[in-house]
Amino acid sequence: MKPRLKFVRGSVIATAIVVLFLTLSFAYVSLINRELEKQTYLYLSEVGNQGAQLVEAKVETHLQDMETISKLIEASGKVDQREMLELIKINAVKSKYKRMGIVSLSGELMTTDGLTYSVSERLYFAEAKVGKVVVSDTLADYSDGKPINVYAAPIYRNNEVVAVVLASVETEKMKNYLEVESFSNQGYSYIVKANGDEVISSLHPNSVGVFGNMFKVLDFGEMRAGDDMTVVRQKMALREEGSFSIRYAGLERHTVYQPLKINDWYMMTVVPTQVISDQTRRISWYSFLLIGGSFIVITILFATIFVFQDRAKKRLERIAYVDEVTGGNNWQKFKLEATEVLESKAVTSCAILTFDIDRFRFINEEYGHEKGDLVLKTVVKILKERMNKQETYARVSGDHFAILCLCDERDKITRRIKEFIRVLNVEREAIGIKERISCHFGIYIIEDKKGNLEKIREKANMARIAAKTADNHHWFFYSDAFRKKIGDEKEIIDQMEDALENNQFEMYLQPKYNLHTNSYCGGEALVRWRHPQKGLISPGEFIPIFEQTGFIRKLDMFMLEEVCKVLKSWEAKKHPDISISVNISRKNLNQIDFIERVLSITNQYRIHRGQLEIELTESSIFEDVDRVIEIGQAFRNYGFKMSMDDFGSGYSSINLLGNLPLDVIKMDQGFFNSRINREQNHIVVESTIDMIKKLGMTVVAEGIETKEEVEMLRKLGCDIIQGYFFGKPMSVHEFEKQIFLKQVIFGEEGKNGN
C-alpha cells in the first residue's frame, strides 16, 4: 500500500500543484487584463483631455475674437446698427464664420450677407444682452435650417449694452475638432449637454451618427464595467467626470466623459473595446495554451506574456504620447518625462523654454502645408539630436514647442538657442525655404521643481510673448521683476481710460529761457498722472505702455487741447505772448486724419498758431522721413512751429536735416551730461550749434542744471535753455507765478532750482 499511498500522495501533490499553478496562472492573466483595462481608461482619459482642451481652446479663441470685435466697434464710436455692420464686414469675409451680424436690443438681426430676422427668443441673445460673451448650443439656422452654433458678445457704449455682435459656425465644421487621432484612428469623440442632448455628433464610422439624446441610445445598451447609467446621469448633473464600458449598436465601447468649460457641455471620448481587447485575448489564449505543456513551455509562456505586455504598453504609449505630425513627443509625453526629471534628486537646476516659429503662417501659405510640416519635423530632428540624456522636448501645438533644459546659466542657454537657429537655417535651405527662419524664445529658470508644470510653462510663455513685443530680442527670461512689471502694466491698462475720463491727467509746464533777451520765452507741456490712491505717477511708468496700446493718441490730443486752453486763458489775461511746445507720438503721425484733428482743436480755441510748437522726437522723425516732411510742411503752412526733440540721442542723418521742415532743434541732454569744458566735447557742441543756426533754426539745449553750462552755452551762441537751472516741470499755476508774476519758485533765478 505504501507505493500506492506514495502514488496517491504524489498525485494529490501534483494535482494540488497543477491546480495551484492553474489558479495562479488564471489569476495572473486576469490581473494583466485588469491592468490593461486600467491603462486603457488612463490613456483614453488623457486623449479625452487633449480633445477637451482643443475644443475649449477653439471656442475660447472664437469668444475672444467676438470680444475683440465688440471692443473695436465700441472704440469706433458707431451707434447705428448699419454703421456697426459695415465695421464687421471685413471680418466676415476673412473669417471662417458662416455669417456675422449685429443685433439691436429689440432682437432684430442684420447680417453681413443681407439677411434680417428676429433672434429675440434665442437664449444666446438674452445672455449677451446682459453682458455675457457666450456660445450657443446647437441650433437650427433661421435661413436654411442647418445646425449651427452661435457666438455672441455685447457691444457697450458708456458701460451700457447697446447692441450684440454675433457670428455663426456650422456645427458640421466643429465636428472636425473632435477627431481623435489615436488608438489607430479607431477612437472618436462627441459633445452632449448634461441632460444627454446632442450638441455635436461625430463623423467617425464607429460612431452612431446623429443621436438626439445620448441617454436614450445608451439605455438600450448592455453595461459591462464602470459607472451605470444612473451614476452617469448623477455625475453629469453634478459636473463630475467618469467612465464606463457598454455594448450597443453591435459594438462594445470604452467611454470617458468629462465636463467642458463651455455651457453645460460634456466631452464623451470613445474607443472600441476590441482595439485593446484583441491584444488581451491573444495574451490570454497563449497563456492557457502553454500552461498545458511542461514547465519549460510555461517559462516560455511567461516570457511571451512579458513581451506582449511590453509591446502593448509601447503601442498604447505611442498612441497617447507621440505627436501625429512630427513623430516626436507631444505635450502629454513632455509632462510625463519632465515630471520624472524634476522629481529626480540628481537634477539640481533646469529651465523650461517655449518658442514658436516667426511667420510660420507665411511658410504654409507660400510653400504649402507639406513644406510647413517638413519644417516642424526638421525642428524635432534638431531637438532630438541636441537633447542631453535627461532633457526633453515637445511640440505643444501648431508651431509652438517646449524644451526642458538642464541648465540655469543664461549664457549657456542663449548659446544653445543661437546654435539651434543657426542649424535650423542650414536645414531650411535644404528643404527649399528661401526666407530666413527666426524664432522667439521665452525662458523660465525653474525655482521650485515641485511646482505645477502648466503654470511653469505659462511663465515661459509670458516671457516668449515679451520677446515678440520687444525690439530686436529673440529671447526673454522670466523673472519676479518681469512678473511684477506685467501686473503693473495690466493695472495701468485697466485704469487708463477711466483716468482720462476722470481728469486724472494733468499738464505741467517746464520753462524755457532765452539767452539773448535774458527772459523766459515759453515752456514745454509735460503730462503727469495724479492717481487717487498712488499720487503722482512718473511718465516713465505709463508713457511706454500707452505707446504700445495706442492710447497715446488720445493722450496727445488731450494735452494739445490743454495747451490751447492755457494759451487762450493767457490771451484773455493779456499776458505776454509766449510759445508752448507739445509732444506728439509717432502713433499719431500714422493717422490719416491727424492734421485735421489738430486743426479742429486749435480752431475751436482760436489760438495764435505761432504760439504752438509741435514737437517730434528724433527717432519718430527718422522712422518715416517722407511722412514727417509732409506733415511738417502742412503745419508750417498753417502757421505752427515744428520742433525736433532729443536731437543727438540716436543716429540722426545729418544730410537729411536741411530738408526737414523744422523751426527748432532741441539738443539732447546727452550732449551736456559729459564735461562740456573738455576740448573734444566743446568742439562737438559748438559745431552742432553753429550748424543748426546756419540752417536757420533755433537751438534749444535741454537738461541744463548748472550756471557753468549756461554761461558756456551763451558764449557758444545757443538760443534757448531748458532745464532745472531755470525751472523744473511745474503746475500751470506755479508757471504763471514764475513767468508772468515774476515770483521765484525755485530759489533765486539763475541758480539751480533742483
Alpha helices in 251-398 (DSSP H): 273-291, 295-321, 331-343, 360-367, 369-386
Q: What is the pLDDT of residues 532-579, one digit of tens each?
A: 998 888 888 888 888 888 899 999 999 999 999 999 999 999 999 999
Instruction: Give the CB-side neighbour count of residue 728, counting CA atoms within 13 A.
Output: 6
Are the C-beta atoms of 131 and 117 separated by less than 8 Å? no
- Please state the rounded mean pLDDT for residues 273-298: 66
pLDDT of residue 413: 92
pLDDT classification of 87: cutoffs 50, 70, 90? confident
Using the predicted structure, report yes or no on whether residue 601 has a pLDDT greater than 50: yes
223-232 long-range Cβ contacts below 8 angstroms, 24+ apart: 224/252, 224/273, 225/37, 226/41, 226/255, 232/257
Are the C-beta atoms of 587 and 635 separated by less than 8 Å? no
pLDDT of residue 422: 94
Among 143-147, 179-183, 274-278, 320-324, where is mean pLDDT lowest? 179-183
Report the percentage of the chain scoring pLDDT > 90. Answer: 38
pLDDT of residue 425: 93
Beta bridge partners of 272: 253
pLDDT of residue 271: 84
DSSP conformation class of 435: S
Q: What is the pLDDT of residues 158-188, one digit of tens each?
A: 889 999 999 998 888 777 767 656 667 778 8
Using the predicted structure, report yes or no on whether residue 527 has a pLDDT greater than 90: yes
What's the angle, vertex CA 442, arms to CA 439 and CA 443, rounded to 5? 130
Q: What is the pLDDT of residues 346-401, one digit of tens each?
A: 888 899 999 999 989 889 988 999 999 999 999 999 999 998 888 999 999 899 99
pLDDT of residue 108: 94
Using the predicted structure, report yes or no on whether residue 602 has a pLDDT greater than 50: yes
pTM for the structure as a whole: 0.47
Q: What is the pLDDT of residues 203-231, one digit of tens each?
A: 788 887 788 888 888 888 888 888 888 89
Using the predicted structure, report yes or no on whether residue 40 has a pLDDT greater than 70: no
pLDDT of residue 750: 43
Using the predicted structure, report yes or no on whether residue 278 has a pLDDT greater than 70: no
- Please state the rounded mean pLDDT for residues 116-128: 91
Q: How far apart are CA 559 and CA 718, in angstroms?
A: 28
Beta bridge partners of 531: 535
Q: What is the pLDDT of residues 720-747, one digit of tens each?
A: 999 999 999 999 999 999 998 865 444 3
Are the C-beta atoms of 136 and 146 separated by less than 8 Å? no
Report the percentage of the chain scoring pLDDT > 70. Answer: 85
Sequence-separated (6 or more) residues with CB below 8 Å from residue 642? 613, 614, 616, 632, 635, 636, 661, 662, 663, 664
Q: What is the pLDDT of residues 292-305, one digit of tens each?
A: 675 676 667 667 77
Position 7: which residue type? F
Using the predicted structure, report yes or no on whether residue 315 has a pLDDT greater than 70: no
pLDDT classification of 93: cutoffs 50, 70, 90? confident
Maximum Cα interatomic distance, the chain, rounded to a whole number of Å? 142
Q: How far apart are CA 750 and CA 486, in angstroms?
A: 43
Using the predicted structure, report yes or no on whether residue 674 has a pLDDT greater than 70: no
Of the two residues 469 and 688, the one the predictor is more confident about is 688
In SS3 terms, 502-527 reads as CCCEEEEEEEEEECCCCEEEEEEEEE
Q: Tell me how far CA of residue 244 lies from CA of 197, 236, 255, in angstroms.
A: 19, 13, 5
- Please state the rounded mean pLDDT for residues 237-262: 88
Using the predicted structure, report yes or no on whether residue 38 has a pLDDT greater than 90: no
Cell of 196: 444627454
Using the predicted structure, report yes or no on whether residue 199 has a pLDDT greater than 60: yes
pLDDT of residue 417: 92
Nearest Cα neighbor of 276 from 601, 636, 36 is: 36
Using the predicted structure, report yes or no on whether residue 193 has a pLDDT greater than 80: yes
- Please state the rounded mean pLDDT for residues 48-75: 85
pLDDT of residue 36: 65
pLDDT of residue 523: 96
Residue holding cell 516626436? 328
Using the predicted structure, report yes or no on whether residue 254 has a pLDDT greater than 60: yes
Using the predicted structure, report yes or no on whether residue 7 has a pLDDT greater than 60: no
Using the predicted structure, report yes or no on whether residue 90 has a pLDDT greater than 60: yes
Q: What is the pLDDT of residues 407-462, one digit of tens each?
A: 888 899 999 999 999 999 999 888 889 889 999 999 999 888 888 888 889 989 88
Compute the mean pLDDT over every residue in the chain, rounded to the nearest whole number.
84
Q: How far apart are CA 597 and CA 706, in angstroms?
A: 40
Q: How far apart are CA 275 and CA 282, in angstroms?
A: 12
Of the two residues 653 and 7, the one the predictor is more confident about is 653
Cell of 388: 542631453
Query: How many residues belong to the chain?
Result: 754
Q: What is the pLDDT of residues 402-414, one digit of tens each?
A: 999 998 888 999 9
- Please state the rounded mean pLDDT for residues 103-121: 91
pLDDT of residue 746: 41
Residue holding cell 543727438? 648
Q: What is the CA radius of gyration of the chain?
A: 36
